[in-house]
Amino acid sequence: MNRSAPTRHDEAWRYSDISAVEAAWPLAAPESIIVPAGGHFARTILQDTGSIHQLDIAIGKGATTAIHVLNIGGDYGRVELNITLHEGADFKLGAVQIGGGTQNLEIVTTVTHAEPKATSSQIVRSVLAGTATGTYLGKVAVARDAQLTDSVQSVKAMLLDRSATANAKPELEIYADDVKCAHGCAIGELDAMGLFYLQARGIAPADAKKLMLQAFVAGVFDGAADEEMLTDAALKKLGELV
């Protein structure tokens, strides 16, 4: 039986467009993926229509998984990943979300290091204009026996208008004592001196902004099978904002 639709009292949905969620409720069951020991799995997620993507991925011993996300479309778009890493597994996430107008875009991840010697890396970049809202909620949980875990989160957001909103909550829950876990989060605006420098060399203001934003998201899609498509789509969306 499907439970009732979430409310803002549910932590994972705190910043969501609840009316859009209710309209889509009940959601289909999350896609469940098992990566066998020693295997490799890669997935590109382009959210450009206003939809909710949910994936549950179990990564076997010594296996690797790489997920690349571009979240840009619709009034409300959400990508939710639940990852479980077994011994020596590796998970990489490269994600960009770009929103304008009244868009509400979300990336929500729960990465569980269930066994020792697993590694995870999450890079998330958001660019927001108008009254758009961009949210990243990222929990890394390290089990008691998951010694020698190595996990890092890098979260940055760029606000093109003061009316835009960026929500970021990188979270660590660690029960092992021999681990390397780090997260960094920064929210800011385009550097005025950088814009002045580019414009002083004859680059139009809109082009200068686009160049700086391109640099801001550069590298996030490195290694993706659909790297060119993701980059082109991101640049087109950035062009619409500036």
The pLDDT tens digits for 87-113 are 999 999 999 999 999 999 999 999 999
Residue 192 has pLDDT above 90, yes or no: no
Residue 65 has pLDDT above 70, yes or no: yes
Q: Is residue 237 part of a domain?
A: no
Calculate what percentage of the chain has a pLDDT beyond 70: 99
Query: Binning pLDDT at 50, 70 and 90, where does residue 195 land?
Result: confident
Tell me which residue range forms the domain holding 170: 11-189
Residue 3 has pLDDT above 90, yes or no: no
Query: Distance between CA 194 and CA 239 in Å, rounded?
Result: 18
Residue 1 has pLDDT above 50, yes or no: no
Query: Distance between CA 165 and CA 77 in Å, rounded?
Result: 15
Mean of pLDDT values over 194-202: 88
CB 25 within 8 A of CB 52: no
pLDDT at 153: 96
Nearest to 13 by CA among 29, 33, 27, 1: 27
Query: Distance between CA 52 and CA 164 in Å, rounded?
Result: 22
Q: Is residue 62 part of a domain?
A: yes
Q: Is residue 219 part of a domain?
A: no
Query: Binning pLDDT at 50, 70 and 90, where does residue 242 land?
Result: confident
Q: Which of 72-76, 133-137, 145-149, 212-216 has the lowest mean pLDDT?
A: 212-216
Q: Is residue 214 part of a domain?
A: no
Q: Is residue 210 part of a domain?
A: no
Q: Average per-residue pLDDT in the chain? A: 94
pLDDT at 100: 97
Q: Tell me how many domains the chain contains.
A: 1
Q: Is residue 235 part of a domain?
A: no
Query: Distance between CA 97 and CA 128 in Å, rounded?
Result: 8
Query: Distance between CA 36 and CA 59 in Å, rounded?
Result: 7
Query: Distance between CA 79 and CA 110 in Å, rounded?
Result: 12
Mean of pLDDT values over 204-228: 90
Residue 123 has pLDDT above 80, yes or no: yes
pLDDT at 197: 87
Q: Is residue 198 part of a domain?
A: no
Query: Binning pLDDT at 50, 70 and 90, where does residue 2 land?
Result: low
Q: Is residue 196 part of a domain?
A: no
Cis peptide before 205 (omega within 30 of 0): no
Query: Binning pLDDT at 50, 70 and 90, where does residue 183 land?
Result: confident
Q: How many CA atoms lie within 13 A of 31 on its CB side?
A: 11
